[in-house]
Amino acid sequence: MIPASFDYLRADSVDAALAALAEHGDEAKLLAGGHSLLPLMKLRLATPSVLVDVGRLDDLRYINDAGDYIAIGALTRHRDLEISTLLASAAPLLSHAAGHVGDPQVRHRGTLGGSLAHADPASDLPAVIMAMGGTLLATGPNGSREIASADFFTGFLESALAPDELLTEIRIPKLDAQGWSFQKFNRRAQDWAIVGVATVRANGSTGVALVNMGSTPLLATAVMDAVKSGASAADAAALATEGTEAQSDINASSDYREHLARVLVRRSLEESGLA
């Protein structure tokens, strides 16, 4: 499997990357870790004529305490998230989930921003960021804008990023977490999740997001509303499939995915403290 021919540009700054996007428009794609884009190119499902490599922009690789939130550079690798002492204390759900992405090779090369911008509903971290109420910072020729994680994923492999924008930062609100959980069911450790659930209970509310239960990562709003009204974990989990569009594929039928969603949401709620 050989990708179509393309030109390669290495950006040495955010401004250089934005200039390349402005010059080449829809024909350009950003390359960070490459674990999502390159397989699509090999299958000819993506055929950019220009690759803009941003993988060496070290100024987009950080995890900082920004007061009311944790600021994470878009090029921060999964392994950095996994071993961060700041995240372990302030956002343990993200740290834990990052340690379950793919295998060590993927975690040492893949980036948080790349995972989010790729917008794959089967990816773990988009759901985690949604459950935590994260905000994404997009930078373009007209400056930067904040996008709520719940509004970022617009369709299958589609996001709210404009063609001339670069995802530069992810902001995680500091939560007085009472409990959290990340549940994932897959055939092998490095496989995509057949179904996954991220849950965090903090500040009197509960965030629950689903992996691989639709064309985008999804907030389980019916579950969240049920928990808010005082429902038990079992009763809330029974609503896990409301608003979802589980698909059948070689790994699971839609009925099986719906069953897994209910089971994993219940486990997640119980583990996070809703007995």
Query: What is the per-residue pLDDT for 188?
Result: 79
Collect all residues with Cβ–Cβ distance below 8 Å to 98 and sequence separation of at least 6.
Answer: 78, 79, 81, 82, 107, 112, 125
Query: What is the per-residue pLDDT for 98?
Result: 96
Antiparallel, parallel or unpaired: β 69-73 and 135-140: unpaired
Q: Which two tokens stand for residue 180?
A: 């959290």
For residue 144, give Cα distances in angstroms to 22, 202, 234.
15, 29, 42
* CA dihedral (80, 128, 256, 39) positive or negative: negative
Ranges under pLDDT 50 in the chain: none
Q: What is the DSSP letter of 74?
A: T
Total Cβ atoms within 10 A of residue 8: 9
Q: How far apart are CA 11 and CA 95, in angstroms?
A: 29
Paired strand residues for 210: 197, 218
CATH class of 177-271: alpha beta
Whole-prediction pTM? 0.94
CATH class of 7-53: alpha beta
Question: Domain spans of the chain?
Answer: 7-53, 58-173, 177-271
Q: What is the DSSP letter of 255?
A: H
Q: How far apart are CA 80 and CA 214, in angstroms?
A: 29
Helix ranges, the chain (H): 14-24, 37-42, 78-83, 85-90, 92-98, 104-109, 112-118, 124-131, 149-152, 221-228, 233-237, 254-271
Query: What is the per-residue pLDDT for 275?
Result: 58
Nearest to 264 by CA among 250, 244, 248: 244
Nearest to 190 by CA among 124, 120, 96, 261: 124
Q: How far apart are CA 126 and CA 24, in angstroms?
A: 28
pLDDT in tens, 208-217: 999 999 999 9
CATH architecture of 58-173: 2-Layer Sandwich (3.30)
